[in-house]
Amino acid sequence: MLGLVRCSAGRVSWNRILVSQCRPALVMQEPRAAFNPRLSLRRSVMEPVVAGKLPVDASRLEKLCRALEVHLDLLDRRPDQVSIGQAQRMGILRALIAAPPLVLFDEPLSALDAVTQKHTARLIADMQEREGFAALIVTHDLGYAAAFADEIAVLRAGRIEEFASAQAFVKAPQTEYGKTLRDAAFALGALERVA
């Protein structure tokens, strides 16, 4: 989807535009591994601006830092000098710095503890509302998807098995595989807060 691997057939589009042409951003699953360990977080965060030859806007950086609850002094540290939660917020900051229209979040909560997961999920939702970007979230956490997504696509063996509004999926999945996933999430308590 991000164009890192060339499509062997077909194309990936969003809003009738090829995704490769709308410059999507990525927030990776492993927050610290997403950064060059030798660079300051400030330098890494600003990479999309430098690579895109965009004007550096210090006020935008400061505004995003406040919204993501990132202290400016953390930008001068290296990835191994911040917590996992802080590193994940830095990853979100880097993704948003160039104001992309689409952000792909790859398991954005999986490396975080339960309290930090809840807080980060809320920050992502708040940032989406503030910044107006579309978010595509890849996750195994059906409770998170049901609570924050507008729509859910269930993948099986690399293909979309089912696609529905989050509410419709939780209420009545249309495929056996979807029902199995939904029932397992209920059994684990992951859907209690959204049922």
- Alpha-carbon gap, residue 175 to 172, rounded angstroms: 9
Are 133 and 147 in a shared domain?
Answer: no
Are 73 and 117 in a shared domain?
Answer: yes
Are 77 and 173 in a shared domain?
Answer: no
Share of the chain above pLDDT 90, in %: 68
pLDDT of 5 reads 80
Are 35 and 74 in a shared domain?
Answer: yes
Candidates 140, 142, 148, 189; CA nearest to 170 is 142
Assess if residue 99 is contained within a domain: yes
pLDDT of 22 reads 83
- Alpha-carbon gap, residue 150 to 136, rounded angstroms: 10
- Opening angle at CA 172, ends 167 and 178, nearest 5: 100
Are 104 and 43 in a shared domain?
Answer: yes
Assign residue 37 the CATH number of its domain.
3.40.50.300
Are 118 and 167 in a shared domain?
Answer: no
pLDDT of 138 reads 94
Q: Are 101 and 69 in contact (CB under 8 A)?
A: no
Element (H, E) at 186: helix 176-187
- Alpha-carbon gap, residue 48 to 118, rounded angstroms: 27
Last residue of a domain, one of 139, 162, 179: 139
Last residue of a domain, one of 99, 115, 139: 139
pLDDT band at 71 (very low <50, low <70, confident <90, very high): very high
Are 72 and 152 in a shared domain?
Answer: no
- Alpha-carbon gap, residue 49 to 68, rounded angstroms: 18
pLDDT of 20 reads 76
Are 36 and 125 in a shared domain?
Answer: yes
Assess if residue 19 is contained within a domain: no
Per-residue pLDDT, averaged over 55-82, amounts to 94
Output the pTM of the full model: 0.89
- Alpha-carbon gap, residue 163 to 186, rounded angstroms: 19
Question: Please, what is the average pLDDT of the chain?
Answer: 91
Are 70 and 120 in a shared domain?
Answer: yes
Which residues, in sequence order, are bridge partners of residue 18?
13
Element (H, E) at 136: strand 134-138
Q: pLDDT tens, 75-113? A: 999 999 999 999 999 999 999 999 999 999 999 999 999
Lowest mean pLDDT among 4-13, 45-54, 147-156, 162-171: 4-13
Q: Are 12 and 6 in contact (CB under 8 A)?
A: no
Counted domains in the chain: 2
pLDDT of 137 above 50: yes
Dig out the tokens for 96 from the structure.
């948003």
Q: Which residue range forms the structural domain that includes residue 33?
A: 26-139
Are 114 and 148 in a shared domain?
Answer: no
Are 100 and 175 in a shared domain?
Answer: no
Helix H, strand E, coil C: the string for 117-133 is HHHHHHHHHHHHHHHCC
- Alpha-carbon gap, residue 84 to 55, rounded angstroms: 29
